[in-house]
Homo-oligomer: A and B are copies of this chain.
Amino acid sequence: MNNAVNSQQSSIKAYVANVTNQASAVRAEIAAASTSIKNQALENIANEIQCSSESLKQQNQLDLRAGEKRGLDSALLDRLELTDQRIDAMAEGLLQVCSLADPVGETTDMQTRPSGIQVGKMRVPIGVILIIYESRPNVTADAAALCIKSGNVTILRGGSEALNSNQSIAKCIHTGLEKAGLSKDIVQVITTADRVAVTELLHADNDIDIVIPRGGKGLIEKIMQESRIPLIKHLDGVCHVYIHDDAEIEMATNIALNSKAQRFGVCNAMETLLLDKGIANKILPNLQKKFAEKNVELRGCEQTCKILNDISSATEDDWYAEYLGPVLAIKIVDDVSQAMRHIDKYGSHHTDSIVTNNEDIAQKFLREVDSSSVMINASTRFADGFEYGLGAEIGISTDKLHARGPVGLEGLTTQKFIVLGDGNIRV
Contacts and interface: CB of A to CB of B under 8 A. Distances in A.
Contact of A373 (B210, B419, B425): B419
Contacts of A368: 28, 31-32
Interface in A384-419: 387-389, 400-402, 404-406, 414-419
Contacts of A40: none
A285 interface: no
Given A111-B389, A230-B230, A387-B113, A416 B373 contact: yes
A344 interface: yes
A153 interface: no
Nearest to A107: B366
A381 interface: yes
Contacts of A421: 375-379, 382
A76 to B, nearest CB: 27
A417 B251 contact: no
Q: Say which size band chain A's interface belongs to.
A: 35 or more
Given A113-B389, A426-B258, A400 B414 contact: yes
A374 B404 CA distance: 27
Q: Is the interface of A mostly helix, strand, loop or mixed?
A: mixed
Interface in A223-261: 224, 228, 230, 248, 250-251, 254-255, 257-258
A325 B412 CA distance: 37
A56 B28 CA distance: 52
Given A366-B122, A370-B31, A420 B376 contact: yes
Given A209-B400, A401-B126, A423 B377 contact: yes
Contacts of A251: 422-423
Contacts of A389: 111, 113, 119
B417 A404 contact: yes
A164 interface: no
A371 B416 contact: yes
Please tell me how many copies of the chain the complex holds.
2
B416 A405 contact: yes
A167 interface: no
A373 B418 contact: yes
A275 to B, nearest CB: 17
A381 B425 contact: yes
A255 to B, nearest CB: 6
A74 interface: no
A419 B376 contact: yes
A103 interface: no
A170 B206 CA distance: 39
Contact of A426 (B262, B367, B404): B262
B262 A425 contact: yes
A31 B257 CA distance: 32
Given A105-B367, A126-B400, A400-B127, A418 B372 contact: no
Given A119-B389, A209-B400, A400-B209, A382 B426 contact: yes
B419 A374 contact: yes
A400 B401 CA distance: 12
Given A113-B389, A255-B425, A382 B31 contact: no
24 contacts: A28-B370, A32-B367, A105-B367, A115-B382, A115-B387, A124-B370, A127-B400, A209-B400, A248-B423, A254-B423, A257-B425, A258-B425, A258-B426, A353-B419, A370-B416, A373-B418, A374-B417, A375-B420, A377-B424, A378-B419, A378-B423, A381-B425, A387-B426, A406-B417
- 6 closest A-B pairs by beta carbon, nearest first, are A378-B421, A258-B425, A251-B423, A375-B419, A381-B426, A401-B402
Given A127-B370, A377-B424, A404-B416, 5 more contacts: A117-B382, A119-B389, A210-B401, A379-B421, A387-B426
Interface of A: 28, 31-32, 105, 111, 113, 115, 117, 119, 122, 124, 126-127, 209-210, 224, 228, 230, 248, 250-251, 254-255, 257-258, 262, 340, 344, 353, 366-368, 370-379, 381-383, 387-389, 400-402, 404-406, 414-426
